[in-house]
Amino acid sequence: MSNRKERRRAGNKEKVPTYNLTMPAMKQIIDAEVKKQVETIRNEAAVKAIDFTLSQTVGVFMVSVHDEFGFGKERLDRLIKRFNGNFDSVNAGNVELADIFAWCKEYGLDLTAREDGVLDGKN
């Protein structure tokens, strides 16, 4: 740090502010910043986990539809477009998940997962 005479010679008239912090105040600032960063990391990890799970689920579903019902590229493309459109409607709040589950139930599908995470698809 330079003294006043050196600052004037250098043309720097702005004095650098100095702050005094107590240890508890510094600890509080650091703890708040660490908590904020941990929350950010958790949120990013949750988004990555959801994206991975969704991609995995859709991928397995598409292979199943192809293998079981012979869906080719065109029908799989139409299916994924429809899926994305429906998913966007749910995310936008235009359709409630309860409505989706009710619709599935009308067709005899129960999307409640068992304890082992497997869907029976039966009522």
Percent of the chain with pLDDT over 90: 58
pLDDT of residue 13: 66
Angle between helices 73-92 and 97-106 (to 10 degrees): 130
Of residues 1 and 24, more confidence is placed in: 24
pLDDT tens-place string over residues 35-90: 999 999 999 999 999 999 989 999 999 999 999 999 999 999 999 999 999 989 99
φ and ψ of 122, to 5 deg: -115, 155
pTM metric for this prediction: 0.60
Residues 1-7: contacts with CB under 8 Å, at least 24 apart: none
Residue type, 60: V
